[in-house]
Structure 1
Amino acid sequence: MTAPRPAKLARVRTVAQDAMRGGRWWTLLDLEPTLRADTEYWRDLWAPSLAIAASKVGLPDARSRLDEAIAAGFHQIDLFEPELTAAFGTDPAWPGLLDSARANVPGPPLRLTVWPEPGPTAPLRLNRIAAPRETQLRARLPAPSASAWQTAKELLAWTCARWRHANARINAGDALDILEQVALGARYSCVEYSIVLAQGLNALRIPARKADLRRGDYHDGVGKGHAVAEAWIDDLDRWVLLDGQHGTYWVDEESRPLSLPELQAREHPARPVSVGPRDGIKDVELWAAYFQYASVTGSAWAPKGFVPVFQGGTVIETERLLHDSAEAYPRLSDLAIAITQVEGAPGIRLVPEHPYAAGGVMDGRPSPSAAWPLDQTEGDHRANLAASTPYGVLTERELRWTAT
């Protein structure tokens, strides 16, 4: 049967729909030759509609029309109720016809069963220099190494070597301002080390933020705080605390670099590791006491109650106050997936948590757009997904789907 021209088909569809709604059954039946050529809607719309119309006007082949619709795969009985039951409900074969129609429902062509999803955390806030100045800052820094961890350690040592600690503070500015003043002979406190280190790491595409540490009873007295930085290290798949003033990071008994929450949870002080040009931390107990309370760029946490006053009057400002430090520590190798169309077929696109992700990999196949079509070959499928950064491919996450 020759398919009608699109313009004619659109007009016929409108007339047929109006006839069905208005109960003009003969008008609908007169359109049958054209409606049969409408392959897009014949099975699901016009075949059952014509069966109802034939029943309404008393045509003897009404039931055979319904049989034809079901044989063609019609199954959306509910769309035509109560008309279908009114037309054919008294037929002894009606229960069997319903069963046949329901059996026509095909399985879904594609079903995703396992996919990655990030854990719930507060929004990530990094300590970055203003975008127009980031290129200038990067030009002052040591060239990055192949791995994020090696790059972070080299920048930690470099930062520590810029000046000798003093209690002076720069009233305003960023890492570039600090480095320019240091070049003129200025010396600054732990705060300025943490700013240079955190902003420098971000300039090298290592997510980093400033962390403020506080001893117990920090609301009164002096010397109750210390500023450091922390960074997400791609090749370690974890956050690591970095002390720019001392050129130091801390490790556990297996020499694994530690994060701030891990340091807070320890019963005994961790071992400091110095990579800077100076002696690093000598009094381990003294400096371990600073891990009692903390906040980071964007968040602060206090499981048993938060004291917002520091050393007699300074207000500890934070954008988000949390109970659990875990909420401030997203796992930046995590990712979500978006469903999209790739090459005309269902596909997935990675939505990385990592702020410097630059593409992705699916079973070893890289894609700058981090998007791939899903294999629709019948059966069960599995793939490993990972975001990629300038330092390599992050930890893999599993995706599973079934095609029928």
Structure 2
Amino acid sequence: MARPQQLARVRTVAQDAMRGARWWTLLDLEKTLRTDTEFWRDLWAPSLSIAAHKVGLAGARGHLDEAIEAGFHQTDLFEPELSAAFGRDPDWSKVLERARANVPAPPLRITAWPEPGPAAPLRFDRVEPHREPQLLTRLPRPSGGAWQTARRLLAWTSALWRHANARINAGDAVDVLEQVANGARYSCVEYSIVLAQGLNALRIPARRVWLRRGDYHDGVGQGHAVAEAWIDDLDRWVLLDGQHGAYWVDEEGRALSLPELQAREHPARPVHVGPRTAIQDPALWSAYFAHASVSGVAWAPKGYVPVFQDGQVLPTELLLREPEDAYPRLSDLGVAVVALDGAAAVRISPVHPYAVGGVWNGAAIAAAPGPNAAERRFTRALDTGRGEHRAELAALTPYGPLPSRELRWTAA
């Protein structure tokens, strides 16, 4: 058995001999090359057959037959030399068939996996990270699921002050709350700031929404600011009005998203959870759903009017025709294929911005403490037992697991 350093030198000499057509040099190395268990079957044995043919040795195909018997199948790597040497042999077609039959089944094949739908980049309204602890001390604590927590925060926000047309014009939810504590009163805009940033602080994805009536480029009272949130336990987006402490539902009592409200022919019913005056005229307020934009995105099927009633420009980071791409399903996920302790594994890649781990067949993926613990909470090795396998994957948020998606694979 050749030592590693000696084998490395022999490999180099053999490769140079093959490239330089020094066939006898290659043949003289056979004894050592046979000890190279990594490359003997798939490289040296076929090469020696070609070399033996080149110098006219009898039984030149013997090394190739030996390699095929051991499982060699990559004949294409040695063409056209192999066919030139042995293509006229009466059984050559059968030799090639035997080689092709050696291709083993893949040890693993992933056959079905989840993919996130297309979506425009999402931008959520959050306070700066260093300000978030200050905001959290002022908010009601989470209770129950995401929907119960969101409604509680909605009611709390609407009760903070009585609406006025004053504007803070700068700052975040902490600034608004500090000024309100000193007696300030603000407009719908400030309600939307507190609500959206409060929801995100509680790990409920939320963003601000600007609603506008039909001909909003002229007149007064043409706009209204609210918020919307992805509610984990409803698996949907819901529009939330911080000023009125309200959300809207359909005839079955299902909380509605902004695109659903825009698509309705008849006004939806508002549901109030706060102490402020209820919306007395749903039809009047539903007129604000005519045009809308959210943090970072606006859409306008018939063309976008970028000027508001007082002449101010209505900027947007991305302009769409339809709202669908602005509303990804945040329970969606993708998968990455990675190595976990040397084994093939998949890593769950959630769309949800506040996912804290992955769920595999209903159980949270456990990870031992360590520098990669956060990453390992999303990663699971694939079962390599022979046969077909399936697993239900989901993202885990602070409010529990999201709806699952299926992964399938086979192992040989």
TM-score, normalized by the shorter chain, greater than 0.5: yes
Corresponding residue for residue 183 of structure 1: 181
Corresponding residue for residue 361 of structure 1: 359
CA–CA separation in structure 2 for the residues paired with 1:26 and 1:233: 75
**One of 24, 27, 30 as aligned partner of 1:26:** 24
TM-score normalised to the size of structure 2?
0.96
1:103 aligns with 2:111: no
CA–CA separation in structure 1 for the residues paired with 2:322 and 2:57: 73
Corresponding residue for residue 10 of structure 2: 12
- Percent identity (aligned): 72
1:398 aligns with 2:396: no
Other structure's SS at 2:97 match: helix
Matches within 5 A, 1:256-295: 256-295=254-293
Matches within 5 A, 1:133-144: 133-144=131-142
Matches within 5 A, 1:4-403: 4-367=2-365, 369-403=377-411
CA–CA separation in structure 2 for the residues paired with 1:258 and 1:171: 30
Other structure's SS at 2:389 match: strand
What's the CA shift string for 1:134-169, capped at 9, x where partnerless?
Answer: 111011100111311011000000000000000110
CA–CA separation in structure 2 for the residues paired with 1:261 and 1:82: 63
Other structure's SS at 1:316 match: coil
CA–CA separation in structure 2 for the residues paired with 1:146 and 1:345: 38
CA–CA separation in structure 2 for the residues paired with 1:35 and 1:145: 70
CA–CA separation in structure 2 for the residues paired with 1:387 and 1:88: 58
Paired letter, 1:164 = R
What's the CA shift string for 1:355-383, capped at 9, x where partnerless?
Answer: 00000111133225211110111111110
Task: Kindly state the Cα deviation for residue 11 of structure 1 after the two structures are TM-superposed.
Answer: 1.1
CA–CA separation in structure 2 for the residues paired with 1:219 and 1:127: 26
CA–CA separation in structure 2 for the residues paired with 1:279 and 1:391: 31
What's the CA shift string for 1:249-280, capped at 9, x where partnerless?
Answer: 01111111100000000011111000001232
CA–CA separation in structure 2 for the residues paired with 1:298 and 1:40: 56
CA–CA separation in structure 1 for the residues paired with 2:99 and 2:245: 73
CA–CA separation in structure 1 for the residues paired with 2:276 and 2:188: 15
Paired letter, 2:87 = G
CA–CA separation in structure 1 for the residues paired with 2:11 and 2:144: 63
CA–CA separation in structure 1 for the residues paired with 2:404 and 2:36: 47
Q: Following TM superposition, where does structure 1 have runs of at least 4 consecutive aligned residues deviating by more than 4 angstroms?
A: none
Task: Kindly state the Cα deviation for residue 312 of structure 1 after the two structures are TM-superposed.
Answer: 4.0
Paired letter, 1:398 = E
Q: Any unmatched runs of 5+ in structure 2?
A: 368-376
What's the CA shift string for 1:198-227, capped at 9, x where partnerless?
Answer: 000000000000000000011111100000
Other structure's SS at 1:300 match: strand
Q: Any unmatched runs of 5+ in structure 1?
A: none
What's the CA shift string for 1:43-64, capped at 9, x where partnerless?
Answer: 1111101111111111112112
Task: Kindly state the Cα deviation for residue 183 of structure 1 after the two structures are TM-superposed.
Answer: 0.6
Other structure's SS at 1:321 match: strand
Name which of structure 1's ranges 8-17 and 286-295 shifts more when overlaid on structure 2.
Answer: 8-17
TM-score normalised to the size of structure 1?
0.98
Question: 1:280–1:8: structure 2 CA closer, same or farther, 3 Å change rule?
Answer: farther
Paired letter, 2:124 = L
Other structure's SS at 1:399 match: strand
What's the CA shift string for 1:101-147, capped at 9, x where partnerless?
Answer: 11111121111111000000101100011111011101110011131
CA–CA separation in structure 2 for the residues paired with 1:178 and 1:55: 88
